[in-house]
Structure 1
Amino acid sequence: MPPSDPESCRTQPAGVHESPEKQRTLIFGCGYVGRRVARLAQARGDQVWATTRDPRKAEAIDEAGWRPVIADWNRPPTLRGLPTVDRLLVAVSHDSASGVGRYESQVLGLQRLLDAIAPATRVVYISTTGVYHQRDGRWVDETSPTRPTRPGGQAHLMAEERVRRWAVHRRATTLRLGGIYGPGRVPRIADVRDGRVLASPGGGYLNLIHVADAAASVMAAWQAMDADVPEPSRVRSHRLFAVADDRPVVRRDFYQYIADRLAAPTPRFADGQSKMSVRSDSNKRVWNRRMKRCLLPRLAFPTYRQGLDDVLNRDRRGGSHRGANP
């Protein structure tokens, strides 16, 4: 049975009381999810800044209608020029090519950023369901133990604690996102199309979230914090949500659905082989009850079937897809 969740919502779910006020929004880490959030914030009339470490990418940010900011949390002087904003999204992936370790970047870098922003900023931090260590297919939620064994999950868990500490008498939300997929990002779709062996076992559950719903969860988290004025007696104003769709799916079924839609051969898996992805040893089912109750009562893509239909209808030939391997 799924775990129980005694916490009740302090605010109405997203969309109930949308603030008409325009917000100043900073996207720190303008990647796959960050760009989606930037577009949503821009569509509601917010003033949007987006960071990049590469000055050559600033022009593209400007062309999108956002204000570029050259910033790298591993270079503290670059954080001095951050704009004062109402909302901050932290969506930074570790760049192994940077030469900076995960702890130095994902934990200490995050701390430098938190130290540089105004206390009134409402922060959303993108974490991962990779913080869960369970391998027996059990249900997990925000109350479940987290003892990650992989470096990525360990770094995110330590970063979550930094956000919790910062949120004493402030407002912050951590979103543990499942495997993100969407247009241009379906893992291993080319391997399925071409009949190659997938470097993962066929068993084990995938916990997924379409990028559109991931971005909507960020907007909903900000909205909830805008409506939730911390009480003087409250020690913390930090919320935690596991963000995944309504139906965890066995990996074999996920790729079989892709194969059926592409009229491709039945997927083959590297069960028991040494070249399997280290991400594939996780096996749990994420229970999204708190998210559905407090943030997003309805998802645009409640299961992988609707999400894959959306993606494959956009590009029936498979196209160029990238992304983390679930």
Structure 2
Amino acid sequence: MSNSLLIVGCGYLGLRAGRLAQQSGWQVHATTRSRFETLAAEGFHPIAFDWNDSRTLKRLPTTTHVLIAVAYDRNSRVDRFASQVDGLARLVRHLDNGIPEHQSADVCYISTTGVYHQTGGVWVDETSPTHPSREGGKAHLAAEAKLRSLRVGRPTTTLRLAGIYGPGRVPRAADVIAKRPIASPPHGHLNLIHVDDAATTVMNSFDNQRFASRARSPLYVVADDQPVVRREFYREIARATRSAEPTFVEPTVDSGVRFRSETDKRIWNRRVRRDLLPQMQFPTYREGLRDVLQNDALK
């Protein structure tokens, strides 16, 4: 069977991973609930699918590779754990049903560095303990465990991604440019990865030739080379756009950024740099921001 990719949750990252797969001659299928024309225009085969609805499982094709990158829909009538954990299990059982281990699809699951609870700017990697306090981190950690238990002996990689940024997605850039105060603590570290480097990591996780001399790890944390304090990140946006020095105000009590700022860790990316991303297109936020903001300004 020639290589083919099923993207379950074809959003910001999935779209770019699909493009890379197409460039390598792969056939790409992508699930959606509404973006059929957009995905078809990319040359993908769109599939109406909801992993919370078992009736839609029969629509999924047999493929050699699967990327699972499903974000939780806050407007869903299904709670986070029922969707992110039970939905994942429902999908994986269907994909592997009746398939021998040596013929099963290679699965890449997108998790998050939000599973880490550490504070004080400590360095964390794949071996660090994980005791998340937020529901999103807890759900992803439970989904990782469920995936491991269901796919023993089958090729599976979990990628814990740092904050993804890229074209059209730079946190608070519009506020900096408009001289609006940023509702965020200026302290604490941001761990980031450019979407193009994240997509490359996904595709390289499927490249068995990379693991001819060493075993592929089942888990990678994915971030660029330089965690950055929030204040400095927004200052770099101001420098790149020739805007005024950013100012800060306290976020609201129930805002996501306040919850995220309760942890403060730095991601050590040694393993992913060794195995999956030895050549990073945007090794730090500085290169990434310059590229994104310059290209966005030309549009």
Q: TM-score, normalised by structure 1?
A: 0.85
**Change in 2 beyond 3 A, CA 1:223/1:151:** same
How many angstroms does 1:49 deviate by?
Answer: 0.4
Give ranges in structure 1 of 5+ residues lacking alignment. Answer: 1-20, 232-236, 320-326
Highest RCO, 1 vs 2 (Cα 8 Å, sep ≥ 6): 1
Establish whether residue 255 from structure 1 lines up as the match of residue 234 from structure 2: yes
Q: Which secondary structure state, in structure 1, belongs to the residue aligned with residue 58 of structure 2? A: helix
Deviations 1:237-269 (A, max 9, x none): 861000000000011000000011112221112
Structure 1 residue ranges, 4+ long, deviating more than 4 angstroms after superposition: 225-231
2:47 to 69, 80, 94: 69
Answering whether residue 188 of structure 2 is matched by residue 204 of structure 1, we say: yes
Taking a change above 3 Å as real, the CA distance of residues 253 and 48 of structure 1, as seen in their structure-2 partners, is same
Secondary structure of the 1:300 match is coil
Distance across 1 between alignment mates of 2:212 and 2:178: 50
Partner residue of 1:40 out of 9, 13, 20:
20
Question: Which residue does 1:106 correspond to in 2?
Answer: 84
Q: Give the AA of the match of 2:5.
A: T
User: Which residue is 2:134 aligned to?
Assistant: 150
Alignment of 1:226-237 (within 5 A): none
Report the CA distance between 1:166 and its aligned residue. Answer: 2.1
Q: Percent identity, aligned pairs only?
A: 51
> 1:296, CA displacement in angstroms?
1.0
Task: Judge conservation of contact 1:202–1:271 (CA < 8 Å) in 2.
Answer: no
Residue number in structure 1 paired with 2:277? 296
Unaligned runs of 5+ in 2: none
Shift of 1:209: 0.1
How many angstroms does 1:270 deviate by? 2.4
Secondary structure of the residue that 2:261 maps to in structure 1? helix
Number of the residue aligned with 2:64: 86
Q: For 1:166-224, what per-residue CA distance to the aligned partner results, in whole angstroms no more than 9, with x for missing partners?
A: 22111100000000000010111111111112111101010000000000000011114
Q: Is the 8 A contact 1:131 1:154 kept in 2?
A: yes
Instruction: List aligned pairs for 1:113-128, cutoff 5 A.
Output: 113-118=91-96, 119=99, 120-128=104-112
Structure 1 pair 225–87 and aligned structure 2 pair: CA distance change class (3 A): farther
Q: Give the whole-Å Cα distance in 2 for the aligned partners of 1:142 and 1:23.
A: 29
**Aligned: 1:240 with 2:219:** yes
Question: Aligned partners of 1:95 and 1:172: how far apart in 2?
Answer: 24
- Provide the rounded CA distance (Å) in 2 between the counterparts of 1:289 and 1:300: 16
Taking the aligned partners of 2:112 and 2:91, their CA distance within structure 1 comes to 19
Equivalent residues of 1:197, 1:269 under 8 A apart: yes
Q: Residues 224 and 295 of structure 1 are in contact (CA less than 8 Å); yes or no, is this contact kept in structure 2?
A: no
Q: In the TM superposition, what is the alpha-carbon distance from 1:225 to its structure 2 partner?
A: 8.2
- Tell me the residue number matched to 1:187: 171
Write the letter of the residue equivalent to 2:58.
R
Alignment check: 8 A CA contact 2:210 2:275 kept: no
Q: Secondary structure at the match of 1:173?
A: strand
Q: Which amino acid aligns with 1:268?
A: T
1:307 counterpart = 2:288: yes
Aligned residue pair count: 291
Distance in 2, matches of 1:102 and 1:164, equals 19
Q: Distance in 2 between matches of 1:309 and 1:272?
A: 27
Residues 156 and 167 (structure 1), Cα distance of their counterparts in 2 relative to 1, 3 Å cut: same
What is the one-letter code of the residue matched to 2:122?
R
